[in-house]
Amino acid sequence: MGDRLARAVAALFAIGGGLVLSGCGSQGGGELVVTYAAADGSSQSVTVPVDAPRCTALAGAPLLRAPEGDAVITAMPVAGSADTWALSVAIGDGMTFVSDGAFEADESGFTVDDLSGVVTAKESDGTVTGISADAHVSGRFEC
């Protein structure tokens, strides 16, 4: 999980590192379902609604966010690649699904089907711990 976790954490900080943009809100929606292997080996599934999506551009690249409540979702293209996006989905209890996998997206949203990633948790001291290297997300984010 080492290299994959390091890339995911770097993507998470790039996505969530204090970006505050207020692009146009819309009546879009959808939901994302994150499935991951818990520490006890059981499969956990969390459904995250896409509430109040905001779709804007940052330096000419699309930035998709649903910043409401505890379920923050952020997606943006990875520098230098139109097909690879960094996706972060807060799933509660301080845990976040993170992926830098390839999926199609544009300024109107995206659909993912079994996109792989990792689940991390931010500890009270600010460190990030890997929770699951076997995580996937499916669903739709629509602006």
Q: Which two tokens stand for residue 53?
A: 């999506």
| Predicted TM-score of the model (pTM) | 0.78
Q: How many Å separate Cα 143 from the centre of its chain?
A: 16
For residue range 23-71, list pLDDT tens digits in order. 444 467 899 999 999 989 999 999 999 988 998 877 777 888 988 766 6
d(CA 104, CA 84): 8
**What percent of the chain is predicted at pLDDT more than 70?**
77
Among the listed residues 42, 103, 39, 94, the one whose alpha carbon sits nearest the alpha carbon of residue 72 = 94
Q: Which of 9-18, 49-58, 82-91, 121-130 has the lowest mean pLDDT?
A: 9-18
Q: Under a CB-based contact definition with an 8 Å cutoff, are residues 48 and 73 in contact?
A: yes
pLDDT at res. 19: 39
Number of Cβ within a 10 Å radius of residue 77? 18
The C-alpha angle with vertex 8 and arms to 120 and 13, in degrees rounded to 5, equals 90
For residue range 119-138, list pLDDT tens digits in order. 999 988 989 999 999 999 99
